[in-house]
Structure 1
Amino acid sequence: MTIALLGAGVMGSTLLAALVRSGHDPQDLLVSDTSAERAEEVSRRHGSRAVPAAEAVAAADIVLVAVKPQDMAALVEEVRDAVRPGALVVSIAAGISTDFLERRLPAGTSVVRVMPNTPALVDQGMSALSPGHHCSEEQLELARGLMASVGRVVVLDESHQDAVTAISGSGPAYIFYVVEAMIEAGVLLGLPRDTSTELVVQTLYGAATMIRETGTHPTVLREQVSSPGGTSVAALRALEDHKVRAAFLTAIEAAAVRSRQLSPPPD
């Protein structure tokens, strides 16, 4: 199976590396980018082939599009006549709907919209898939298999993609923000920075593992840590006083609004 990867940026190169690790023949992976030098560099690293976009699409069973939303219309116009009948187009561009692509690609083209996130770099990504009108169950499973090579996958209605973008797509940024603050607090309290970093990172990893492996609601786990009159309760009271929970809700709503704004206006 030949896969054309259009866009060799961070997420594109991450997916390329994952496809190679999962057993795909690198010579069946065709890479294109607006920067020919970037495509060549990424291809050399993974043993794949760098070719122009239309040439890659013409040879591909799956077209994996990993470009910025503002570059999508021009790219589709460039390659639309090269899309093979029966090919599957998988888009990971934020805000680009399946309808937007279906109206610009040859009639009946199968499209899947995906919102991944950056932990895909370490095979711990979270991807949400939404099939278009012409996507068969077999093609959806094909897309699921591609994204499963870099982490977990859910399939949901496309109407939820703005919420997915706000929760898991942008979510790593929120976590890194909190981790950064906790590390700085440790330094403020006199800990060496490397020690503070190790304490925070392992605490984050352990807490996330507890949620996944126990299946216990986070509220229950939080209460188990919060002894009456103890240090955790004092800290949580300060967070509530500063309306941190409300701030997170507002921030995530803002991300969802921005995701909707990224969607191109109707034709």
Structure 2
Amino acid sequence: MTDDAMNGAFARTAFLGTGSMSGAILRGLLAAGAPADRFRATTRTAASAERLRALGVDASAVENDADANRAAVQGARLVVLGVKPFAVADLLREIADALEPNAIVVSVAVGIRSATMEALLPPSIRVVRALPNTPVAVGRGVTGLSAGARADPAAVDEAAALFSASGSVVRVEEPRLDALSAVSGSGPAYVFLLIEQWERAAVSLGFTPAEAAVLVQGTVRGAMELLAATESPDPAALRRAVTSPRGTTERAIAVLETADLESLLVRASEAAIARAVELAESN
């Protein structure tokens, strides 16, 4: 993509509350070549704002400037809400009359329904919910998008362009968004937990922590690269290719299958969905 094309690909965007998730989104955009001058950001502290300014982003801290959020949204086509779920309503009340007409408000908060946000905003403002995961920071994110009642397809397209720069985008109806978050939003934590426990198992077999990290993390990375490079990616087929009849892997898989991993993952996802419902009911 040429510089001119890259400049035109991103609408002017304000990131309000640049914490772990919205910060990952912003870093992913910059890593993808998006020009820093397309973005404004607000943070809680002056130190975090300074770190963003070092990347070329116009950033300000609310601890130093009470009007930082309102100033950031001026001229912004997209406004990404990166605050915690309990703070979304107050933030929307703060910026509602400062938003540009027809702006698109994109919330990355779990459990805050679009109708709740729309009720706090002028009628011309379109709301899109986005639930990305942290690998957006390295261009390998997965983001679920759903449109609010006032969001037309063009608004969803603009939001999708923001996230597709650093990963994959899946569009779903809002009732499915909690389930999507339980799979892909929380999913990196599941993978990291597996790696953590697998490394501990390797240490118990006599490897040093450093050796265990190389063995486990290298295996996970290589397996995913192999899956991605396969013409018709099918994890079951690749697993069978490794599992020779009456071999060592077959014996290990038999033990793992006694854990009923599918049922365990379903229960974990259901717990995450239940929490999202609780958050929605409390906001």
Distance 1:18 1:194 in 2: 29
Distance 1:202 1:161 in 2: 32
In the other structure, the counterpart of 2:56 is: 47
1:37 pairs with 2:46: yes
Determine what percentage of the aligned residue pairs are the same residue: 35
Deviations 1:161-193 (A, max 9, x none): 111111000001111111111111111111222
Distance 2:251 2:21 in 1: 41
1:11 pairs with 2:21: yes
1:149 pairs with 2:159: no
In the other structure, the counterpart of 1:200 is: 216
In the other structure, the counterpart of 1:91 is: 107
Quick one: structure 1 residues 210 and 44, their matched pair in 2 at CA, closer, same or farther if it must change by over 3 Å? same
Q: How many residues align?
A: 265
Unpaired runs of 5+ residues, structure 1, are none
Distance 1:135 1:45 in 2: 34
Distance 2:206 2:118 in 1: 57
Q: Choose 21-30 or 110-119, whichever is displaced more.
A: 21-30
In the other structure, the counterpart of 2:228 is: 212
Contact persistence 1:13–1:42 (CA under 8 A): no
Q: Choose 19-28 or 194-203, whichever is displaced more.
A: 19-28
Q: Choose 38-47 or 175-184, whichever is displaced more.
A: 38-47
Contact persistence 2:129–2:148 (CA under 8 A): yes
In the other structure, the counterpart of 2:191 is: 175
Unpaired runs of 5+ residues, structure 2, are 1-10, 61-67
Distance 2:119 2:255 in 1: 52
1:229 pairs with 2:246: yes
Q: Runs (4+) of structure 1 moved beyond 6 Å? A: none
In the other structure, the counterpart of 2:181 is: 165
Contact persistence 2:70–2:98 (CA under 8 A): yes
SS in 2 for 1:135: coil
Q: What letter matches 2:156 in structure 1?
A: L
Q: What letter matches 1:262 in structure 2?
A: L
Compute the displacement of 1:220 (Å). Answer: 2.2
Distance 1:249 1:231 in 2: 28
Q: What letter matches 2:13 in structure 1?
A: I
Contact persistence 1:17–1:46 (CA under 8 A): no
SS in 2 for 1:46: coil
TM-score under structure 2 length normalisation: 0.86
Deviations 1:107-132 (A, max 9, x none): 13111110100111211111111112
1:251 pairs with 2:260: no
SS in 2 for 1:263: helix
Q: What letter matches 2:200 in structure 1?
A: E
Compute the displacement of 1:210 (Å). Answer: 3.0
SS in 1 for 2:106: strand
In the other structure, the counterpart of 1:68 is: 84
Compute the displacement of 1:62 (Å). Answer: 1.2
Distance 2:130 2:25 in 1: 12
Distance 2:217 2:123 in 1: 49
Compute the displacement of 1:39 (Å). Answer: 5.0
TM-score under structure 1 length normalisation: 0.91
1:137 pairs with 2:153: yes
Deviations 1:206-254 (A, max 9, x none): 2223333322432222222222222222212222333444222211221
Quick one: structure 1 residues 140 and 242, their matched pair in 2 at CA, closer, same or farther if it must change by over 3 Å? closer
1:58 pairs with 2:74: yes
Quick one: structure 1 residues 211 and 77, their matched pair in 2 at CA, closer, same or farther if it must change by over 3 Å? same
Contact persistence 1:118–1:125 (CA under 8 A): yes
Distance 1:157 1:12 in 2: 22
